[in-house]
Amino acid sequence: AQVIYEDDFEGSGNINWNPLFYLNTDQQWEENLEVVSNPFGEGNVGLVKDADTSYTGAALVGGDDFSFQYLAIEADVYCYTDTGSTSRYTGIALMADTSDDNGEINTRYVKLVADFDENMGVGKRLRLYNSELSMQTFSYSFDVKFYSSQIPGGIPEVDGWHKMRLEVRVVNADSVAYWVYFDGNMVGDGPVYDYTHQVGDAVHTPFFPGTFGLFSFQQGASLPGYFDNVKIEQLSTTGIGKNKPVASSFKLNPNYPNPFNPTTTISFTLPEAQRVNLSIYNTIGQKVKQLISRDLPMGDHEIVWNGTNEFGREVPSGIYYYRLSSRNYQEIRKMILMK
């Protein structure tokens, strides 16, 4: 990885911060990042907040635009745990497409936030989700939650500083992969995949982030979001980004039949004995079922998926993805369950 931007808010930063939300229909800008004295210690920190709550407490600032597709953002984030009766959280973001063809603001982003309150009755969690909100279902087209059992060290019990990191790499034209880290540890069991898929009449396409940001939210109020030691890296484009096998005999075949109901066969070829993982994912990148996670001999292999999840329950009709991975190979294919 190559460090391309840094900011410790002590005057040595090389990032030009910009507000990413409009204040009103007259297209006046929302509040920008401020450099303030650290209320919890020495030195300065960055402050992000929606001072007039015109976005119901949401505030987003972004750094200089650039065209790299393989990015990581890392920052010290002040995380809140005792939130009372309102929902509030802080986090980091990767963004793209900050304006449309007419020059209108159209920020799309994926954000990683520390949502450590209990008031909504959904449990404390880290949350990775995008900005594509359906007002009919009040849900996002990409929304992944990580609970205490998936976070090394668990959920913090008191307010305080924590290091958050989000990495993104392009897999192919239809998908990107995100890695989530909290206090230096990977969260979950590996990357989270965001695939091209359709929700109603709208087709969601994973975007390739072209800038980065800091995010703060409090329901109906103004939450001070404090940040420090922001670092932006361009990641290597090798490995998952190229999505190529290491040998011509290493191959993941199309499943058959496809579409299928209720079973389908997945076959693949290994050029040598090695440990492999074969998993099923839904269209928002959540793992549905682990089919294989063990050492296998060289040669041809096949396995039947019966359309059930890890709990043995039938999954609904729709598009699913199966991913074969080993130490230095991975490939993804799409299949359709049609009942």
Q: Is the pTM of this model over 0.85?
A: no
- Bridge partners, residue 272, by sequence: none
Say how far apart CA 141 and CA 286 lie, in whole Å: 12
Q: Is the pLDDT of residue 314 over 50?
A: yes
Span of 87-96, 174-183, 240-249, 305-314 with lowest mean pLDDT: 240-249
Give pLDDT, residue 207.
62
Residue 137 burial by CB count (10 A; 0-12/13-18/19+): exposed, middle or buried? exposed
Instruction: Compute the distance between CA of residue 46 and CA of residue 50 in angstroms, rounded to an integer.
Output: 14
The listed range with the strongest mean pLDDT (65-74, 142-151, 163-172, 295-304) is 142-151
Residue 158 burial (10 A CB sphere; 0-12, 13-18, 19+): exposed
226 pLDDT band (50/70/90 cuts)? very high
53 by Cβ neighbours in 10 Å (0-12 / 13-18 / 19+) ranks as middle
Mean pLDDT of all residues in 82-94: 72
Peptide bond into 259 cis (omega under 30): yes
Give me the mean pLDDT over the 85-101 stretch: 66
Neighbour count for residue 220 (Cβ, 10 Å): 11
Res 303 pLDDT > 80: yes
**What pLDDT is recorded for position 45?**
96
Distance in angstroms (rounded) separating the CA atoms of residues 69 and 9: 26
Model confidence at 245, pLDDT cuts 50, 70, 90, reads very low
CA distance 285 to 283: 6
Q: Which residues pair with 337 in a beta bridge?
A: 260, 318
Identify which of 20-24, 25-29, 103-107, 134-138 has the greatest average pLDDT.
Answer: 134-138
The answer to whether 241 and 211 have CB atoms below 8 angstroms apart is: no
Q: In whole angstroms, what is the distance from residue 195 CA to residue 206 CA?
A: 6
pLDDT of residue 172: 66
H-run or E-run covering 337: strand 330-337
**Which one-letter DSSP state was computed for residue 260?**
B
Contact 93, 109 (CB under 8 A): yes
Lowest mean pLDDT among 72-81, 101-110, 259-268, 305-314: 101-110
**Residue 196 pLDDT grade (very low, low, confident, very high; cuts 50, 70, 90):** low
Least confident of 54-63, 88-97, 166-175, 192-201: 192-201
Burial of 302 from C-beta contacts in 10 A (0-12 / 13-18 / 19+): exposed
Which uninterrupted H or E stretch holds 139?
A: strand 139-140
Residue 41, Cα to own-chain centre: how many angstroms? 30
Average predicted confidence (pLDDT) for the chain: 80
Structure tokens at 172: 């192919």
Q: Encoding tokens for residue 167?
A: 């990495």
For the cut 70, the answer to whether the pLDDT of residue 227 exceeds it is yes
For the chain, the straight-line distance linking the first and the last C-alpha, in angstroms and rounded, comes to: 45
Query: What integer pLDDT is reported at residue 239 of this predicted model?
Result: 42
* Pair 232, 72: CB distance under 8 Å: yes
- Note the residue count of the chain: 339
